A and B are shown apart, each in its own frame.
Chain A
Amino acid sequence: MNTLRGKISELTTSGNMTLVGVGVGGTRMTAVMIGTPEKVPYLRISGDVELLFNESAVSIGKMIEGQLSLNNQLDCTVERLVMGEILTQVILSFKGEHLTSLITTMSAKRLDLKAGDCVTAFIKTNEVMLKEPDGAGNGD
Chain B
Amino acid sequence: MEIELSVRKKLFTATGEFPFAADLSIGSGEMVSFFGPSGVGKTTMLRIIAGLTDADDGFLRVGGETWFDSADGTNLPPRRRKVGFVFQDYALFPNMSVRENLRFAQPKADRRHVDELLDIFGLSNLQHRKPGFLSGGQNQRVAMARALARKPDLLLLDEPLSALDMEMRSTLQDEILEVHRLWGITTILVSHDLPEIFKLCSRVIEFRDGRVVDDGNPYDIFGRSRISGKLQFVSEVLKVEKEDTVDVLTLLIGNSPVKIAVCNNRQETFVPGDRALVVSKAFNPIIQKLNSNGKGGN
Contacts and interface: CB of A to CB of B under 8 A. Distances in A.
Interface of A: 1, 31-35, 40, 42, 52, 54-56, 82-89, 91, 100, 102, 126-127, 129-132, 134
A91 B228 CA distance: 26
Contacts of B227: 52, 129-131
B279 interface: yes
A87 B245 contact: yes
Contact of B228 (A35, A55, A83, A102): A35
A85 B244 contact: yes
Contacts of A87: 244-246
A133 to B, nearest CB: 8
A129 B244 contact: no
A1 B269 CA distance: 12
Nearest to A88: B245
Nearest to B279: A129
Contact of A132 (B226, B245, B263): B226
Given A52-B227, A82-B265, A130-B228, A102 B246 contact: yes
Contacts of A89: 245, 263, 265
B281 interface: yes
B229 interface: yes
B183 interface: no
A107 to B, nearest CB: 13
Contacts of A34: 230, 282
Interface string B245-275: 1100000000000000111011000000000
A42 to B, nearest CB: 7
29 contacts: A1-B262, A1-B263, A1-B266, A31-B228, A32-B283, A33-B282, A35-B228, A42-B226, A52-B227, A56-B261, A82-B265, A84-B244, A84-B245, A86-B244, A87-B244, A87-B246, A89-B245, A89-B265, A100-B265, A102-B246, A126-B283, A126-B284, A127-B281, A129-B228, A129-B229, A131-B225, A131-B226, A131-B227, A131-B228
Contacts of B265: 82, 89, 91, 100
